[in-house]
A = this chain, B = another copy of it.
């Protein structure tokens, strides 16, 4: 039987998951591709380190070019992450006419278009299913399974760390800081969690998804983002009472010739499928103009799920399935706009005295903001009271104008939260 030789750059959790699956599902894989996958070379930092996987000692190398320039290796799997030196390694691998599989979302969101063109020029493939949604086959679903659809809307819970934090706040009443600590303790959050909680990770991923769904290269800088650091226990409680869960959504929508993108916390109706996506799970909700509403749910991270996605790309390359190439991606097919025409949840802390509600409501009216609901509660201990509004659909700039005026009122202690309410 013919062998396919793999060179793996990096030996972290995804690489060890990949190597394990190739071992324990070998029969299934061989039955599928009729070839034997062989791990030829693995790039590591320290050859002497003890590994959880069982490979011959001479498989390991500390020289990336022993893999990239290796004539016997057909597929290079890049799992070191980060832009440099992964960028250089992948360019050289593609120029050496090797297929490349990567899980590197930061690199793809930054240099994806160039690398896809390089792959095309060299007649090889660049695959990256594992870069978004871990084990969930979302990229292949968009580019292959639903390729005859024009996509209108994508809304993803594609950052497991923030979803874990928000779930813990919702289900166990934790404050934000406590939930972050718990996530760190369990390994779901980094010591410095900022790239997750500020929305950067989700922005990379929605840049990749929207580029392939809309056939237009979307840059991370096109994506307004807001993280979850300002979400308080109070907001979570109000959301629940009003029939919602707060989720960090990465969303992209297309209508006529405009695309709008955003990473932001949002109220998601509790009976919507995205609301049952808890803890470290991910999901992507799509609307296609033929298939209608579709959602894919699964593990967004982890050694085996992410290894499964990498392996699927390898299998797809070996089966030599044809695929649309990136040169069809249009740089400016659609205009990118930022209107945020949505419903909004706005929570104020106000002085508890007559006329406050009327004054605020009047400013909303002046800015064409009509209201869906108002919740006025008992006062806090210090003669202040929370006041919560949910608006009807309106552009964000109207909200900002109104809040600018309202923030000057003596009776308004603070504008505590502004969160989008998604109705789907």
Contacts and interface: CB of A to CB of B under 8 A. Distances in A.
Given A288-B308, A296-B296, A297-B294, A25 B149 contact: yes
Contacts of A291: 135, 298-299, 304-305, 308-309
A221 B145 CA distance: 31
A371 interface: no
A150 interface: yes
Interface stretch (A102-110, A114-122, A315-323): A315-323
Interface string A251-294: 00000000000000000000111011110010000001111111
Contacts of A295: 295-298
A145 B137 contact: yes
- Copy count, this protein chain: 2
Interface residues of A, number: 58
A302 interface: yes
A28 interface: yes
A191 interface: no
B312 A145 contact: yes
A31 interface: yes
A324 interface: yes
A322 B321 contact: yes
A301 to B, nearest CB: 11
Contact of A292 (B275, B278, B298): B298
A24 interface: yes
Interface in A143-172: 144-150
A145 B311 CA distance: 10
* Interface class of chain A by DSSP: mixed
Given A292-B299, A311-B148, A273 B271 contact: no
Q: Which of A140, A147, A273, A291 has the most CB of B within 10 A?
A: A291
Contacts of A328: 31
A307 interface: yes
A147 B276 contact: no
Contacts of A196: none
Q: Which of A137, A278, A309 has the most CB of B within 10 A?
A: A137
A196 to B, nearest CB: 21
Given A292-B305, A298-B291, A148 B28 contact: yes
A141 interface: yes
B302 A21 contact: no
Contact of A290 (B289, B297, B304, B319): B304
B324 A321 contact: no
Nearest to A26: B148
Nearest to A135: B291
Nearest to A136: B294
Interface in A18-46: 21, 24-25, 28-29, 31-32
8 contacts: A29-B148, A31-B215, A137-B146, A146-B312, A148-B315, A273-B277, A290-B304, A297-B297
Interface of A: 17, 21, 24-25, 28-29, 31-32, 135-137, 140-141, 144-150, 215, 271-273, 275-278, 281, 288-299, 302, 304-305, 307-309, 311-312, 315-316, 319-324, 328
